[in-house]
Amino acid sequence: MSKTAKLDLGDKTIDLPVIEGTEGEMAVDISKLRAQTGYITYDNGLGNTGSCLSDITYIDGEKGILKHRGYTIENLAAKSTFLEVSHLVYAGNIPSKEECDALKSQIKENSKIPEGIKSIIKSFPKDAHPMGITSAAMVALSGFYPDLLDQDLTDDQKKKAFPLLMGQLKTIAAAVYRHGQGKDFIESNPKLDYTSDFLYMMNGEEPNEDVAKALDVLLVLHADHEQNCSASTVRVVGSSKANLFASISAGIDALWGPLHGGANQAVLEMLDAIKQDGGGYEKFIAKAKDKEDPFRLMGFGHRVYKNFDPRAKVIKDYCDVVLEKLDVQDPLLDIAKGLEQTALSDEYFAQRKLFPNVDFYSGIIYKALGIPTNMFTVMFALGRQPGWMAQWKEMIEAPGMRITRPRQVYTGKTDEEL
């Protein structure tokens, strides 16, 4: 017998279906609630609302678990490359050697951006925020690939779109960085792997192998994260049958917000504030413990993970490798390491599970690589694009897909007259 939940509304009781996920998560299906009762539900921020059925990513925030298609993030980071994880998220399987070789070849063929996109990037002021330029370039791609604007893409078109956008965003991101530096763009080097090529297009030099590996793992850790703000935005925009470029551009815009993708930027801004104050991070540890002080340590704790962020566990060691290989001497990084060591050994933080999260370590890595703070969120977008595309693809292929249209509880004036 299927499970149901009983809801009492005055003198009426109705049965609501209960959906059980494969990891044991339970959800009450209220899709017919309004039709049956005239009631809707109210859920500010939608934190208790399941907006879709998905088999891409699973998160258990209480236990600190993150899985893609059943594979733990620790397993994927240790044994797979960013391209392999991207294929897993989008296509549903770890690619075979033949599939992986074909994907690499297709991405390399799509790593040269149209001259018109270069002109759009160059038309922005050099001090324009990189996320604004990236979003504009992404949606502008729609003008250069009209065959991907059909309302209902074929399987072949979806297969074409994946390597196309993977190659294009990599080059766009590097070009946006170069533009901000006032430097000429660098063409893709087909001899290099995905992440090494991106670093090459940024700096014009083949990167250290260990550094490139660390960045590749960081991209793996960002590949998808369930129904976060930007993934949900991609789904909402895509549900109107807007094209893929517009949907991904909308995801970039959502990620731009400081409450979402801007967290690693906030970490560096906090470290800079500590430096300007004199560099004494112990003072700020004390401020963080003071309930009367509004100061918050950025990059510690996580809204979803009530335990240690599993991505932070993975990237911590790679962060140490990057700092060692690059031999970077930077007072901000010294402050960051001091904060990390103090927080990890302090009972106050342990009891509250305020451990460094992935944003803390990613900010440090980007800083060590010489990437400007305002480019951090573009790096995040580069890693998250496979997840956005996967969420979009799953949504448009779902049986009975409908345009997203939430309800509201009206609280305005009534019966006004002129």
359 in catalytic set = yes
The whole-angstrom distance between residue 65's C-alpha and the CA centroid of its chain comes to 17
Which ranges in 227-330 belong to alpha helices (H)? 229-238, 244-256, 263-277, 281-289, 310-326
CB 380 within 8 A of CB 264: yes
State the catalytic residue, choosing from 193, 197, 302, 309.
302
Find tokens 């270069």 and name the residue.
118
Q: Six-digit token pair at 357?
A: 């999260």
Q: Is 394 buried (19+), middle (13-18) or exposed (0-12) by CB count in 10 A? A: buried
CB 64 within 8 A of CB 310: yes
Spatial separation of the C-alpha atoms in residues 120 and 113, rounded to whole Å = 11
State the catalytic residue, choosing from 193, 224, 253, 359.
359
Q: Is 8 helix (H, G, I), strand (E, B) or coil?
A: strand
Q: How many CB atoms lie within 10 A of CB 218?
A: 27
415 in catalytic set = no
Residues annotated as part of the active site: 302, 359
